Structures are given as structure tokens and as C-alpha cells.
Amino acid sequence: FSCGVQIEDEKIVMSRYSGGGSSRGGVEGKIYVGDLPPDASEKEIERSFNYYGHLRNVWVARNPPGFAFVEFEDYRDAEDAVRALDGTVVCGNRVRVEPSSGKVRPKPWMRGGGGGGGELRGNCYEVGRCCGCGCG
């Protein structure tokens, strides 16, 4: 259809964009979905997001749970989904929906700070300087 509405397996996919600008490179088509319940399912997230365009990938975190990443084929569809779904209820929770930063976050046990610094100190020693954990 020229307006971007397609019916796939009895679901409607509404994209304002047909072909062209699928990506500007980087992570423009990838969005972060936060504050999900621990039992959020990939299918539920797909149902909420595929209205805005074709999905390339949906990944739901399990350990720790509570967030997911949704990747659209076209970055403009991702932008539409962020505007429309941020603050709405998905999988029974009011969620945060924002563009993915593309940054890899450190694991909680790799961060500096108090508590059980044994491994952390070993890592500091290996890199030759303190990471801020207070070991030296």
C-alpha cells in the first residue's frame, strides 16, 4: 500500500515511511524500553511496537529483568514509537521509551564503590591504576 499500512498475519503495521531511509547508521532505529515487569514477554512487546513499523529485533532482558531493546527497520518509525509510547502502559507497567544511547553500561559488580572489592582490586592492579574503588 502506498500509505505504508500493511497487513501481516492479521496484524496491522502502520509505517509513515515506505522504503528508503531505513538507517542512518549507528543505533537510530534502536530504542530502550525501561520499567518493564520481570515477566514481560517478547510477544507482548512486539504487539505494542509493531504498529509503528517493521521490527528488526526485540530483545528482552532476563538477568536482570525490567528492560528491553526494540530495533526498527526504519529509524523514523523508531522515533514515532518513542513519541507515542513513552509513559504508556506496556505489559501492565507504565514504561520509559527512549532512543538507545548505544553505550554499553558497566555491570554492577564492575562499578567502583563500597563492598566486596576483592575482584575489583584485582582488576585495578591488572590495569595499573585504581578505578575509583578505593583500593589504593
Residue 60's DSSP bridge partners are 68
Q: Does residue 128 carry a pLDDT above 80?
A: no
Looking at residue 66, its pLDDT comes to 97
CA-CA-CA-CA dihedral for 21, 99, 11, 90, to nearest 10: -170
**Which DSSP helix (H) or strand (E) runs through 32?**
strand 30-34
| Strand 89-90 relative to strand 93-94, pairing | antiparallel
Secondary structure of 79-113 in HEC code, one letter for each residue: HHHHHHHCCCEECCEECEEEECCCCCCCCHHHCCC
pLDDT digits (tens, 9 = 90+) for 87-125: 999 999 999 999 998 887 776 556 665 544 444 344 444
Residues 82/85/91/92 CA torsion (nearest 10 deg): 140
Q: What pLDDT, on the 0 to 100 scale, is given for residue 113?
A: 55
- Kindly list the distances between the CA atom of residue 41 and the CA atoms of 72, 89, 110, 112, in Å, as whole numbers in the listed order: 18, 14, 28, 33
